[in-house]
């Protein structure tokens, strides 16, 4: 089973090849996430990290029921996310207007949902 993002539609699909015939079906969709780009399953939190490659680059978390915007960046693009079994989450920031590309460890404060 593989999750993949279709950036132009904002839909995350599931490729399931566990049966006699592989299938592809929509898995997740939120009108708030316009251009899903990178996906990372978080075993520690049992949820999915989603980067949104829109004009305002955002990092979202889906817990199986709700989407939560965790981080947004206006100066560049969140190009990747990696979660570790100990709960640490790293993101890559690219094309920063204010400095070099960066890999950033998110802190517990930044892992809380962003205020609208």
Question: Would you state the pLDDT for residue 79?
Answer: 87
Name residue 62's beta-bridge partners.
Answer: 48, 67
Question: Would you state the pLDDT for residue 83?
Answer: 94
Q: What is the mean pLDDT of each run of 10 residues along the chain (116 residues)?
A: 89 94 94 92 94 89 93 85 92 80 78 54
Question: Would you state the pLDDT for residue 112?
Answer: 58
Question: Would you state the pLDDT for residue 98?
Answer: 63
Question: Would you state the pLDDT for residue 9?
Answer: 86
* pTM summary value: 0.85
Give the span between the Cα atoms of 71 and 18, in whole angstroms. Answer: 34
């Amino acid at each position: 089973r593989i999750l993949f993002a279709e950036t132009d539609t904002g839909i995350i699909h599931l490729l399931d090849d566990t049966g006699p015939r592989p299938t592809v079906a929509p898995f997740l969709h939120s009108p708030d996430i316009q251009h899903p780009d990178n996906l990372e399953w978080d075993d520690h939190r049992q949820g999915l990290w989603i980067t949104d490659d829109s004009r305002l680059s955002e990092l979202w978390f889906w817990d199986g029921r709700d989407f939560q915007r965790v981080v947004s960046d206006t100066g560049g693009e969140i190009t990747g996310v990696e979660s570790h079994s100990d709960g640490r989450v790293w993101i890559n920031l690219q094309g920063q207007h204010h400095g070099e590309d960066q890999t950033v460890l998110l802190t517990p404060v930044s892992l809380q949902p962003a205020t609208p």
